[in-house]
Amino acid sequence: MSSNSTVIRLHAEEKNVGFDPNESLMSKWRKSYESNRRRSVAVSKYYSFGYFFCICSAELYCAFTEIIPYFYSQFGWEYVYFMKVIAMFVFINTIANWMLTVLTKTHVPQDNDRPDSVNLAWKKYENSTDHSGEQIINLGSVDRSDLHWTFCKTCEVPAPPRSHHCPICERCILKRDHHCFLVGTCIGFYNQRFFVILTFYVAIASFVGLAHIAVYMKDTYYPFHSIIDWFFPVTLTRFVMGDVSLIHTLLMIQIYTFWWSGPVCLGFFLYQLIAIYYGKTAYELAKTRRPNRIRSLNPISYNFQSVFGSFWPINFIFPAHPILKQLGDGRNWPGVKIKYDV
Ligand SMILES: [Zn+2]
Ligand SMILES: [Zn+2]
């Protein structure tokens, strides 16, 4: 009898640990959805990189085998050769900057190197029993316009000024600009330079590619196919049946990608340039019209070097981060102040 009661109690405990019998179906579904969403977000950057790597490779293949010879062979083989070098240059820069954007660590490290004044305040916080809410750690400065360190409860790290917690990456990001759903990661202090160059080259490749593909398809596809053949599932079906060539199918995939990737990346590139010009992040630029906004007193050249390093235009030729270091450390922000409107 006693052994039966033990079994029953154990089952009850197991039930309590495993799931709550009073938990609603909606609550269970929400938990399951949330855990699946986090898992898919964590791997989404590899999916998007894989997709765009295939698109870029397809564009390079089509450019080398069909598009460049079709448009430029009339000017001589040197011109064809030159255009192939340009296409390869854009391809390598796009892939390299994409990989560096995704792989560069830009979160606030656990062994965060805090200034001494913050260490003192931090010690006071650690000894405190009140762990409620995000606590501002004052640097002890008399200047109210100085930026402050904060404490992130989720990451349990002292977070430098201008860093923000990303609920998708689940990390605090140094000088967080925004979370980019296109590359599937946060853009922050260390990878912003690669992201800006990436948007530039994707915009170039999309617009130039689309212009060439449109003329090529008008000459070689439009006269021989009906309007329904431009609908991608039909194109794919007819490719499988042998009625549409591989080149035309690959070009159709590129048309369906470039019409949106060109304008989106151009928009991001211009917005990033404006934000860097003013020494702000995209997040801070969006808050320009609100009170207590951040302003940079640094010269424009400093703002660009803070993102790209010295001789910053060289980044457009190759990723120059090992030799051209960024100004600043992403933690201390001399010349960046809070402007109080009240
Ligand atoms: Zn955090
Ligand atoms: Zn993020």
For 126-158, the pLDDT digits (tens) are 544 443 434 444 444 445 566 778 888 888 888
Residue 39 and residue 234 in contact, taking contact as beta carbons nearer than 8 Å: no
Q: How far is the CA of 83 from the centre of ligand 2 (A)?
A: 37
Distance (angstroms) between ligand 1 centre and the Cα of 23 equals 29
Q: How far is the CA of 154 from the centre of ligand 1 (A)?
A: 5
C-alpha 164 – ligand 2 centre gap (Å): 9
Count of H-run helices and E-run strands, the chain: 10, 9
Q: Which of 283, 268, 273 is nearest to 303 (CA)?
A: 273
Ligand number with the minimum distance to the CA of 108: 1
- Report which bound ligand comes closest to the CA of 38: 2
pTM of the model: 0.79
CA 112 to chain centre: 23
Residue 174 has pLDDT above 60, yes or no: yes
Q: How far is the CA of 184 from the centre of ligand 2 (A)?
A: 8
Distance CA 109, CA 126 (A): 18
* CA 152 – ligand 1 centroid, Å: 5
* pLDDT attached to residue 132: 40
Average of per-residue pLDDT across 219-236: 83
What mean pLDDT is predicted for residues 252-273? 93
- In the structure, what pLDDT confidence band is assigned to residue 112 with cuts at 50, 70 and 90? low
How far, in Å, from the CA of 107 to the mean position of ligand 1? 9
Largest separation between any pair of C-alpha atoms in the chain: 97
| Contact partners, residue 269, CB within 8 Å, separation at least 6 | 196, 199, 200, 203
CA of 165 relative to ligand 1 center, distance in Å: 4
Ligand approaching nearest to the C-alpha of 178: 2
88 has pLDDT over 90: yes
Provide the pLDDT confidence category of residue 181 given band limits of 50, 70 and 90.
confident
| Ligand (nearest to CA of 186) | 2
Ligand closest to Cα of 164 equals: 1
* Range with lowest mean pLDDT among 63-77, 78-92, 123-137: 123-137
d(CA 287, CA 177): 12
What percent of the chain has a predicted confidence (pLDDT) above 90? 27
pLDDT of residue 46: 81
Give residue 162's pLDDT: 86
Predicted local confidence at residue 129, as pLDDT: 43
Q: What are phi and psi of 308, to 5 degrees?
A: -105, -10
**With 90 as the cut, is the pLDDT of residue 159 above it?**
no
Calpha distance 286→146 (Å, rounded): 20
pLDDT of residue 128: 46
Residues with CB under 5 A from ligand 1 (ion): 152, 154-155, 165, 172
pLDDT attached to residue 279 = 87
CA of 229 to the centre of ligand 1 (A): 50
Write down the domain spans for the chain.
109-159
- Please say if the pLDDT value at position 24 is more than 50: yes
**222 token code pair:** 């439009």
pLDDT surpasses 90 at 87: yes
Distance 45 CA to ligand 2 centre (A): 11
Task: With residue 94 as reference, give the H or E element that holds it.
Answer: helix 77-103
Cβ contacts of 280 within 8 Å, gap of 6 or more? 288, 294, 296
Distance CA 161, CA 118 (A): 12
> Is the pLDDT score of 276 beyond 80?
yes
DSSP code, position 63:
I
